[in-house]
Amino acid sequence: MIDAVTALQKLQKGNQRFVSGNGREKEMLTHNDLTSGQEPFAIILGCSDSRVPAEIVFDQGLGDLFVIRVAGNIVAPSQVGSVEFAAAQFKTRLVVVMGHSSCGAICATIDDMKNPNDKKSLNIKAIVDRIQPSIEPFRATELWNDSEILIHESMRANVRASVNQLRHGSAILEDLIENEGLVVVGAEYSLKTGEVIFFDHLPE
């Protein structure tokens, strides 16, 4: 079992390789026999955006990461259950909630808040409704009229909200955090640079 700090360091080093163009493509794509089981060293809850594949961004191979992807990296019961499963079953001790720049789900939520539309899909509305509470406080600030900064700060606020939900919305995860060294952190991925910045609840 890899502890959370070591797992975080592995992700950071992998992202550095990705950014510098020195990734381990051949090793990542080599098929090893994984039929007997898996031991992912990190759980990544990320956005479904096609530009943010976690394995590539962190330069990791088959079996290294347990990846959960959903638009806006929201936390709904199925995502919580998936994190619980991996943390308990595989003893994975690091969970990363990763948002990204120019997130379509964030932009859609802001647009809906500024221009309400009752005709959108109920399924899309379910995603927007989970993101909106983390953005709502910005209505009363100057950021509300600064689109670029608003999108970035909203993305970060949404990541923090998801981290908080995982840390405090599951008895299983709360117990693992309290007694088994599980760490849940927040991060953002830059579409422009390829860099991942970890910014929320980092271990000491």
Contact 87, 145 (CB under 8 A): no
**137 in any annotated domain:** no
User: Can you give the CATH number for the domain in which 90 is found?
Assistant: 3.40.1050.10
What's residue 117's pLDDT? 80
Alpha carbons 28 and 63: distance in angstroms, whole number: 10
| Position 58 in a domain | yes
Rounded to whole angstroms, the Cα distance separating 166 from 87 reads: 12
* DSSP 8-state secondary structure symbol assigned to residue 53: -
Question: Residue 37's pLDDT band (boundaries 50, 70, 90)?
Answer: confident
Q: What is the pLDDT of residue 131?
A: 98
pLDDT of amino acid 28: 62
Q: Is residue 163 part of a domain?
A: yes
In a domain, 138, yes or no: no
What percent of the chain has a predicted confidence (pLDDT) above 70? 96
- The 10 Å Cβ neighbour count of residue 120 is 12
Q: Is residue 188 part of a domain?
A: yes
122 lies in some domain: no
Burial class (CB in 10 A: 0-12, 13-18, 19+), 130: buried
- pLDDT at 30 (0 to 100): 62
Query: What is the number of domains present in the chain?
Result: 1
So what's the pLDDT on residue 184? 98
Question: What pTM value is reported for the model?
Answer: 0.94
* pLDDT 10s digits, 99-117: 999 999 999 999 999 998 8
Which residue segment(s) compose the domain that 29 sits in? 4-101+152-200
The whole-chain average pLDDT of the chain stands at: 94
Q: Is residue 47 part of a domain?
A: yes
Residue 68's pLDDT band (cuts 50, 70, 90): very high
Give me the residue label for tokens 């840390």. 167
Question: What is the model's pLDDT at position 31?
Answer: 62
Neighbouring C-beta atoms of residue 42, cutoff 10 Å: 26
Residue 118 placed within a domain: no
CB atoms within 10 A of CB 149: 14
